[in-house]
Structure 1
Amino acid sequence: MTIWCLLTADEDFQAFTPPPDFNNEWQTRLLYLSLDEVSDEGMHDLAYEDQIKDFCTDCRCIICFENVAVKFRLAHFHFGNLNPHALPNTIRSLRLFACKQHYPLYTRSLPKDLRGIGLRQNRIYGRLDLTTLPPLLQLANFRENELCGPIDLTKLPKDLQKLDLSSNSIRQHTVFYDSVPENLVIRLDGPNERRRIRNVVALNPNERRRDKRGFDLVTSKNMR
C-alpha cells in the first residue's frame, strides 16, 4: 500500500528550493503545535535522543530537505492525536498509519503543498470534503476510518492519480463526478460494501468517463 501513501524519495526534491518566506522558527512552532496533544511518553518516543531540539535532526517522524520539513510519517503510534491541520505548508507527504487518530478532518486546512496523504486504519470521522483538497495532491488514502458523506467528486485536484475512500461510513445513493482525469483510480467501496454507494453519475453527460474501471469496485451498470 506504500504507493497510496508516500511519494518517492530523492527525485521529488531535486528541484526543491525553500520558499522565499521560509522561517525556521515558525516551522518549529507549527511542528510543536501539531504534536501538542501527544503525551510526554510519546514525545520521548519520537526523539532520537532524550528530547527534540531540532525537528530536522532529532525527530524520527520528520524528514527534512535543506532544513525544510517535507515529510511527516508515523505508524502504530498510540500516544495521542497529531494535528495535521497545524503542519507547515511545506509538508509534501503525510502518512499516519494505524495510529488510533480520532478527530474530524478539515481538508481545507491541510498543508497546501501536500502531494501525498495516507491516513489508513485510524478512527478519523466527520464529513470528508473532497472539493477543498490541497491543489497539488496526487495520492490520497483515507481507507479504514469513520468518515462519512455526502462526498462530491466534481472538484478534485487536477493531478490526483489515486483516491481510496473504502471501508468508511460513507452511505450515498448517488455520487456525482465531473472533469475526472482518465488515469485517476478511485476506490469507493470495499469488498463487502457494494451497496453503500449505488450510483456514480457524470454531472455533465458530455464529460462521462469512458473507462469505468477507474472507479474500482463500482460496477459499470451503476456508473453513467
Structure 2
Amino acid sequence: MEKFTEHCGLVVPLDRDNVDTDAMIPKQFLKSIRRTGYGPHLFDEWRWLDHGEPGMDVSGRKPNPDFVLNQPRYQGATIMIGRRNFGCGSSREHAVWALQQYGIRCVLAPSYSDIFRNNALKNGLLVVQLPEAEMDTLFDETLATPGYRLTVSLEAQTVTRPGGQSIAFEIDPYRRQCLLDGTDDIDAVLAHAEAIRNYETMARRAQPWLYSTQPGQAD
C-alpha cells in the first residue's frame, strides 16, 4: 500500500449529497476478477453519454461535457471534495479502487458511509471528515479559483488552504499509522508473526488434544 504523509494537489468539487458507490463504479464493472482497470470507468454513467462495459476502449466514447470530471480546469485533480453521506450505497471496494486508479489520493467531505470509509482507509485512500461550514468554504474557493490546490498533511492532521489557513481533522490512530507506514491489516498481523508462532507452539504443548488429527485428516 502506498504511504500517505502529505499531499498537495488540484481539487475537484463533486457538489452532490449522497454520492453512492453504485454511481462511482456501476454494477457491470464488478464482473471483472481483476483489481485494475477501473479508473476510466469512475462515475461511468455520469461521465460518459453512452453505456459502458468492462474492457471497453474509452478513447472512442463521448464524454458528458457537463460532468465535473470532464471539465478542463479539473484535469489532473488528485483531491476530491464532496458533500454529506459520501460513499453511501452497496459495499464494494471497486469504488475505492476506481477513485484511486483515476488519480484521487484524498477525499474531503462532511460525512461518509461507514463501510466506504473503512474500505477507503484499508486500501490507502485517505478520507477526511470536516465540518459542513469548512466544506462550504472549500467549495466556494474551489469554484471561484481555477487551479485551486490544497495541502493535506496526515502527519499534522491538517488541511491547508492556499492562503495558509489550516483546518484540523481527526482520524482513527490505527488507520493513521497504517497510512503513514504504507501497511494494511495483513502487514499488521505479519509484524507479530514470531509471537503467533510462539503462541502456537505453547498451545500445542499445553493442549495437544486440540491439535490432534483423525486418520485421513491433514494436520
Q: Same fold (TM over 0.5)?
A: no
Q: TM-score, normalised by structure 2?
A: 0.29
Higher relative contact order (CA closer than 8 Å, sequence separation 6+): 2
- The answer to which structure has the higher strand fraction is 1
- The answer to which structure has the higher helix fraction is 2
Tell which structure's C-alpha radius of gyration is larger: 2
